[in-house]
Amino acid sequence: MKILPKHSLKAWVERLRATHRVVAPRETYGQYIFEEIENADDLVLDYHTSVLPPKKYLLPPREDLFAFNAKTMEMSPLIEEIQPTVIMALHTCDLHAITLLDKIQGTGHTDQHYQARRRKTTLVSIECLKPCMDHAFCKSMGTLAVPEGFDVHLTDLGDRYAVDIGSEQGEQLIEGLSLFWEPVEADYDRVNQVMAGKWPNFDYRLDCDVTDLPDLLAASQDSALWDEVGDTCLACGQCTKVCPTCYCFDVLDEIDLKLEHGKRIRVWDSCLIEKFAVVAGGHNFRSSQARRLRHRFLRKGKYQFESYGLLGCVGCGRCALSCPAHITPIGLLNTLAERRRPATEEASSRS
Amino acid sequence: MKPKVAFFEFTSCEGCQLTVLDTLQRHPELLEVIEIVQFREAMTERSDDYQIAFIEGSCTRPSDEEKIREIRTQAQIVIAVGACAHLGGINAIRNRMPLDDVREYVYGDKKDWFETYPARPLSAVIKVDAVIPGCPIDRDEFAMAVTHLLQGRMPAIPDYPLCIECKLTENVCMFLRGQTCLGPITRAGCDAICPSCGQGCEGCRGLVPSPNLGSIKEALRERGMTEEQIDARLSLFLTYQTMQMDGVTPA
Ligand code: SF4
Ligand code: SF4
Ligand code: SF4
Ligand code: SF4
Ligand code: SF4
């Protein structure tokens, strides 16, 4: 652990900007979006949540894959120059989401574009000391503490930050800088105090245990709740666009008017829009909004856990905040848990 | 051989045709790949030998129908350009009112001098092969539509809601800004230009294929809109489509 006095934060960020693109949250209409900071004075570390998660720097909403010439039938790679990037002030939920994405994009057919960006990205996270918003349920999901594999993690101690270094890449951001002090006994005491003090600020909002989610969802496949919620869902797809763990994309070709120079691009897709599961021939194998919603929740709470050992939801609450129909994971999962209970009680009273 | 293209207008403001002109200025190469043989707003020459017809405007008079059918007979491909041709447009607002009242309101004691009937999209009169939605249309989408036609396929327009594009642009949702928006039920393709400029969407690109009208009304109600205001909001561009959903098609 090191100590960074708050008055040295700007100097540190200016140093980083000499060698890196530094991105951080910026306020707009009461929300925050991650953007490159042009001046260390613009830095905001204290924010609630961002509209799009910082995954956009690893998996951009629109990304060129390759260029082609339709006349000569030649293809050329389009690897854009990737600047070394520091993402500032990630919350631990978003860090957990990146841990999951790292796993997904690094398993099987590894995603070269993701990997290239990831290698050049260093994550500076910050400890949340109070819930970012009412919709957050990170404590229930176990994402309120820093995951393994962080780079640099900050904890606000009032007039200074405690700085934990979790990787070599992180080490490089502070190496040899006299801005960072060695901690003294009182700093450790302060960290313990802050960390112990923060937990009561957060509620457990999920009524079942997080480890029970895959079973709960498996038992709820035929629940009538999917139809009920499906009736109110607008299929607007916002919940998936803002989710830090969603990674589905669609692939499109663009070509100029002379039908010669084109490029293949990919764009974030969404399993909640009507045509997502339409296959060649026109069949839609998830033909109702209820089935599409069920798919999304099973994916977050069951399938990804089965495939990667990590749940696909980190409890950030962005989907709940965005949903014009107020469909929230907490509301939905707690209702499923409540509806399962009588059946379980019945079963146990029989045995 | 360059395809021969003609432009026509019916009841409309000609804003979409102006957008076409603007697209021609931005993409002069368009003229290298298509041959425009008729375009009243842009040229004097006029030929009825064309393969592709772009039609702006809605059909608002029985006598428009014959001309529209003539175009259909001549053209191999007919494309509805803009909200009027695609949806009946704002001309269709009147469809929910008694036609006689409308005539009186507009023409006063001369109401019997003019021919009119409920406004309708082109597709209510003839088979339309494709649409370029919007009020006005989007320049890039027009260029893309031409590209698709040159490739021998019909212009593909998004079939998902505006919210998708709006979130890719990372706009703060109008609902979170205390305003309202029809984005969740409106077809994407304009890059969410209105929310990007701080205005809720008015639905000029028409409804998505399966809009959840009940839920959008509830969302508007929650923001304090009265039933009257909600109906008005849904009638600016969506009168014809919402009436159709209620099973009403004007004679
Ligand atoms: S499902 Fe919702 S709460 Fe969970 S990670 Fe995604 S956006 Fe956050
Ligand atoms: S969900 Fe929890 S971890 Fe994520 S930003 Fe909010 S408070 Fe922090
Ligand atoms: S944000 Fe809400 S209404 Fe929109 S698709 Fe997601 S669950 Fe449905
Ligand atoms: S501003 Fe409108 S289009 Fe954008 S996300 Fe919100 S509801 Fe959807
Ligand atoms: S945001 Fe809505 S009203 Fe504005 S141009 Fe797009 S579809 Fe039309």
Task: List the beta bridge partners of residue A263.
Answer: A67, A254
* ∠ CA B98-B102-B108, rounded to 5°: 135
Instruction: Assess whether pLDDT exceeds 60 at residue B8.
Output: yes
Structure tokens at B18: 């102006």
**B104, B127, B150: which is the final residue of a domain?**
B150
* Pairing verdict, β A21-28 and A85-90: parallel
Q: Whose CA is nearest to atom 8 of ligand 5?
A: B204
| Residue B11 binned pLDDT confidence (cut-offs 50, 70, 90) | very high
Cβ of A333 less than 6 Å from ligand 1: no
Sign of CA dihedral A250, A256, A258, A260: negative
A71 inside domain:
no
Would you say A261 and A255 are in contact if contact means Cβ atoms under 8 Å apart? yes
- Token look-up 């763990």 returns A245
Would you say A75 and A68 are in contact if contact means Cβ atoms under 8 Å apart? yes
Would you state the pLDDT for residue B216? 98
What is the C-alpha to C-alpha distance for residues A192 and A196, in angstroms, rounded to an integer? 6
> What range does the domain containing A192 cover?
2-63+77-201
Verify that B120 and B169 share a domain, yes or no: no
Would you state the pLDDT for residue A278? 80
Q: At B58, which CATH number?
A: 3.40.50.700
Q: What is the DSSP string of A2-60?
A: EEEEGGGHHHHHHHHHHHSEEEEEEEETTEEEEEE-SSGGG-----S-BSS-GGGGTS-
Q: What one-letter code names the amino acid at B106?
A: V
> What range does the domain containing B108 cover?
4-150
The pick from A229, A272, A296 for probing ligand 3's pocket by mutation, whose C-beta has the most ligand atoms within 8 angstroms, reads: A272
Picking from A117, A107, A190, the residue whose alpha carbon sits closest to that of residue A156 is: A190
* Pairing verdict, β B35-39 and A261-268: unpaired
Chain B contact present for A255, CB below 8 A: yes
Q: Determine the distance separating the centroid of ligand 3 and the alpha carbon of A249, expressed in angstroms.
A: 18
Would you state the pLDDT for residue A74? 95
Task: Tally the domains of chain A.
Answer: 2
pLDDT digits (tens, 9 = 90+) for A216-232: 999 999 999 999 999 99
Verify that B42 and B126 share a domain, yes or no: yes
Verify that B170 and B212 share a domain, yes or no: yes
SS3 A163: strand
Verify that A229 and A193 share a domain, yes or no: no
Task: Tally the domains of chain B.
Answer: 2
Give the pTM: 0.94
Task: List the beta bridge partners of residue B11.
Answer: B58
Would you say A314 and A97 are in contact if contact means Cβ atoms under 8 Å apart? yes
What is the C-alpha to C-alpha distance for residues B186 and B202, in angstroms, rounded to an integer? 8
SS3 A61: coil
Verify that B53 and B83 share a domain, yes or no: yes
Would you say A47 and A89 are in contact if contact means Cβ atoms under 8 Å apart? yes
Structure tokens at B23: 């697209």
Instruction: Collect all residues from B whose CB is shorter than 8 A from any CB in A.
Output: 27, 29-30, 32-33, 143-144, 146-147, 150-151, 159-161, 163-164, 167-168, 170-173, 175-177, 183-185, 208-210, 212, 214-216, 218-219
Task: List the beta bridge partners of residue A87.
Answer: A23, A123
What is the dihedral angle through the alpha carbons of A172, A177, A183, A187, rounded to the nearest 10 degrees? -90
pLDDT digits (tens, 9 = 90+) for B159-217: 999 999 999 999 999 999 999 999 999 999 999 999 999 999 999 999 999 999 999 99
pLDDT digits (tens, 9 = 90+) for B106-124: 999 999 999 999 999 999 9
Verify that B118 and B138 share a domain, yes or no: yes
What is the dihedral angle through the alpha carbons of A122, A127, A133, A136, rounded to the nearest 10 degrees? 80
